[in-house]
Amino acid sequence: MVVDALSRYQARREQLAQGGSPNGGSLELIGDILRRGERLGREGVERALRGMSRGDIDTWLRAQKPESLQPALLRAAEEAAEVALGEEGEEAEVWRASSLEGLTARDRAESAARAISEWELLHGALDGETARTLRAFREGLGRLDEALRSKARWFIPLNPQRRAERDLLDAAERARAWWFTARADCDDFIAALSQRPARPSSHLQSCPECRADLSSTEPVEAPPKRHLSADDLWRFDMGLMSAVELKWVDGHTEKCLDCAQAIWALEEGDEAIEQAQDEQPAPAARSSRAMENPARRPGAARHPEQREVLEERREFRVVLVRERQRARLLVQPLSGRVVTAAVFLAPGKPSLKPQQGPEGLQFDLGTGGGRSAHLMVRVGNNEIFERDFSF
């Protein structure tokens, strides 16, 4: 695999030696060679740089939009997840190649930036509007990396190909090229997500990033030995506790009279409210929520659901709805444009299937309480929003 990647860059070096691509296209060629000079040498680089004018640099910079790389990388993350989910074969190769194109697009931008730096060493620093455009280009790449570097775990299914690219980069370049280097040795992470081995591999034991990611995907197995706080009681009454937490509450209240009385007070209050409602004349049609078993939904009469607006933009609104022991996410179109969304409960897992309802797209998140998910929203053909959230 490394040999294949090396052959590809050797072919690019030959292309450069023969004249390369016209104008801005040469920047990426030159940068590719410069950033892999320890393996490829620098033949043809200086001649190509001396043949480029300030006008060539300015024309190339004006055509660049670093923010356009974000949807390409997000799409690459989705395709990498498909690689992890599918069996090896032709389909997996298609997803893998398409995902790698997104990573390569970010790498080409880095190569061009490196080539411009080398050009300035030969010709002098850019000035005026061209210098401002270059600064904006580099700042745009910086913002992109800040937003997406932490998502490198999504590209773990491509690690064999990413390592091949990483190993060709000069040592000084690897730290910046997170799209090829970050989490490139974390192959065990994907398997651990689904199998939860009793004895973690040596990598999982030594990798703080894998340990943190795995820890965030599993419930608290042993809640601290303490009494129920006011927040605990509120979360119990609202149905926001996980199954593990509820089990701990049951065990704790068997031994702690004070906490048991607090729980009883909540339940007695619910029963009093429901009894008062039952004594009133029944409306023509009671809601299905009111007809539910109160033993399964304590406090439902007072707190049927809780809504939290996670994001509101001109095109859409994202609302998290908590209903006792379950949670759902709504993505509501606001501008009349087509809005699509995907929700992932864990890296490398398939996205949840949305349901179209009167309030927009609805995702059933299942049991809530300390869990997290990843949301991506697309308006038209452009990815415009991404975030992690807890429920």
Sequential DSSP letters for 128-175: HHHHHHHHHHHHHHHHHHHHHGGGGGGGGGGHHHHHHHHHHS-HHHHT
Q: Provide long-range contacts, Cβ within 8 A and 24+ apart, for 32-37.
A: 32/108, 32/111, 33/9, 34/111, 34/114, 34/115, 34/118, 35/110, 35/111, 35/114, 35/169, 35/170, 35/173, 35/177, 36/9, 36/168, 36/169, 36/170, 36/173, 37/170
pLDDT of residue 38: 92
Tokens of 261: 């009385």
Q: Which residues contact 60 (CB under 8 A, 6 or more apart)?
A: 23, 24, 27, 112
Confidence check: pLDDT of 139 > 50: yes
Q: Are strands 355-357 and 372-379 parallel, antiparallel or unpaired?
A: unpaired
User: In angstroms, what CA-CA distances link 296 with 210, 291, 362?
Assistant: 37, 11, 23
Confidence check: pLDDT of 215 > 90: no
| Higher pLDDT pick, 388 / 217 | 388
Per DSSP, the residues of 310-372 read EEE-SSEEEEEEEETTEEEEEEEE-SSS-EEEEEESSTTSPPPPPEEETTEEEEEEEE-SS-E
Q: What single DSSP character describes residue 379?
A: E
Lowest mean pLDDT of 32-41, 139-148, 256-265, 332-341, name the range: 256-265
| Higher pLDDT pick, 244 / 54 | 54
Cβ atoms < 10 Å from Cβ of 252: 18
- Which of the four pLDDT bands, split at 50, 70 and 90, describes residue 86? low
| Higher pLDDT pick, 196 / 371 | 371
- Which of the four pLDDT bands, split at 50, 70 and 90, describes residue 162? very high
Confidence check: pLDDT of 122 > 70: yes
SS3 375: strand
Confidence check: pLDDT of 67 > 80: yes
Lowest mean pLDDT of 46-60, 125-139, 268-282, 373-387, name the range: 268-282
Separation of alpha carbons 205 and 199, rounded Å: 9
Average pLDDT over residues 139-157: 89
pLDDT of residue 306: 84
Which range of 218-232, 295-309, 374-388 scores highest in mean pLDDT? It is: 374-388
Confidence check: pLDDT of 242 > 90: no
Separation of alpha carbons 102 and 126, rounded Å: 29
The domain locations on the chain are 2-185, 186-218, 220-274+298-303, 306-390
Lowest mean pLDDT of 142-151, 156-165, 262-271, name the range: 262-271
Per DSSP, the residues of 130-141 read HHHHHHHHHHHH
Instruction: Give me the sign of the Cα torsion angle 249, 252, 253, 258.
Output: negative
Rounded mean pLDDT of the chain?
79
Q: Please, are residues 312 and 322 in contact by the beta-carbon 8 Å criterion?
A: no
Confidence check: pLDDT of 258 > 90: no
Which range of 208-212, 223-227, 237-241, 334-338 scores highest in mean pLDDT? It is: 208-212
Q: What percent of the chain has pLDDT over 70?
A: 79
* Sheet (strand 339-344) strand order: 339-344, 372-379, 382-390
pLDDT of residue 292: 37
- Which of the four pLDDT bands, split at 50, 70 and 90, describes residue 190? confident
pLDDT of residue 300: 37
Confidence check: pLDDT of 188 > 80: yes
Confidence check: pLDDT of 171 > 90: yes
Give tens-digit pLDDT for 261-299.
777 776 655 555 455 555 555 444 333 333 333 333 333
The identity of residue 66, as a single letter, is P
The identity of residue 276, as a single letter, is A
Cβ atoms < 10 Å from Cβ of 230: 8
pLDDT of residue 383: 64
- Which of the four pLDDT bands, split at 50, 70 and 90, describes residue 226? low
Which range of 23-27, 298-302, 347-351 scores highest in mean pLDDT? It is: 347-351
| Higher pLDDT pick, 114 / 70 | 114
Q: In the chain, where does DSSP find H-type helix? A: 2-17, 25-34, 37-40, 45-50, 54-62, 69-85, 90-123, 128-148, 159-168, 171-174, 178-181, 188-195, 202-206, 208-216, 230-238, 243-255, 257-279
- Which of the four pLDDT bands, split at 50, 70 and 90, describes residue 221? very low
Angle between helices 230-238 and 257-279 (to 10 degrees): 40
Closest CA to 351 of 82, 30, 138, 129: 82
Give domain 306-390's CATH number out of 3.40.50, 1.20.140, 2.40.10, 2.60.40.
2.60.40
Confidence check: pLDDT of 318 > 60: yes
Confidence check: pLDDT of 382 > 80: no
